[in-house]
């Protein structure tokens, strides 16, 4: 993964990016639905993707994908720079000043964010979750 991130950042620089970042997102998702005592939906999904954001000629460009191949990382990075260049062609709105983004001194950083939770819902079995939904469905049916 680090190699692909470095590849995208290097390519963005060679394409004239004054600034570039890449964000990788991993998502785990579970869906359960119960209606009238019958389980209607149970799905467990995992997805992963990345987005490249660049600043070229004072304008932002962004592109993203779920494919982490070298070819796709290159394509997405080039697309982000093309979008930034196209955005730079749009005349600035007079009420917003001269236009063009100017950033301060660049800072290199790397981080991870995990939502704080008391109980990780992915540690609870599907059976327990469905039992809770069935009880809630039964209670709602009484109203």
The answer to the question of residue 76 being in a domain is yes
Percent of the chain with pLDDT over 70: 95
What pLDDT digit, counting tens, does each position of 101-133 carry?
878 887 888 888 888 999 999 999 999 999 999
The answer to the question of residue 102 being in a domain is no
Mean pLDDT confidence for 47-59: 96
Tokens 């070229």 belong to which residue?
A: 56
The answer to the question of residue 55 being in a domain is yes
- Per-residue confidence (pLDDT) for residue 98, from 0 to 100: 60
- Per-residue confidence (pLDDT) for residue 91, from 0 to 100: 80
Q: How many CA atoms lie within 13 A of 3 on its CB side?
A: 3
The answer to the question of residue 54 being in a domain is yes
What is the count of structural domains for the chain? 1
- Indicate which CATH number applies to the domain containing 35: 3.30.2290.10
> Is residue 141 predicted with pLDDT exceeding 70?
yes
- Per-residue confidence (pLDDT) for residue 76, from 0 to 100: 99
- DSSP classification of residue 123: G
Contact assessment for residue 52 and residue 80, using Cβ atoms and an 8 Å cutoff: yes
Other beta carbons within 10 Å of 53: 19
Domain that holds residue 83: 2-91+117-141
The answer to the question of residue 103 being in a domain is no
Q: Alpha-carbon torsion 17, 21, 22, 27, what sign?
A: negative
């Amino acid at each position: 993964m680090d190699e692909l991130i470095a590849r995208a950042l290097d390519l963005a620089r060679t394409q004239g990016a004054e600034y570039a970042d890449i964000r990788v997102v991993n998502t785990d998702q579970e869906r359960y639905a119960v209606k009238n005592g019958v389980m209607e939906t149970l799905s467990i999904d995992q997805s992963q993707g990345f987005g490249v954001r660049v600043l070229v000629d004072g304008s932002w460009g962004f592109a993203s994908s779920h494919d982490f191949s070298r070819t796709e990382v290159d394509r997405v990075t080039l697309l982000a720079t093309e979008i930034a260049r196209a955005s730079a062609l749009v005349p600035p709105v007079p009420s917003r000043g001269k236009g063009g983004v100017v950033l301060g001194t660049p800072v290199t950083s790397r981080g991870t964010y995990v939502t704080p939770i008391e109980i990780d819902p992915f540690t609870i079995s599907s059976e327990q979750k469905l039992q809770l939904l069935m009880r809630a469905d039964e209670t709602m049916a009484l109203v």
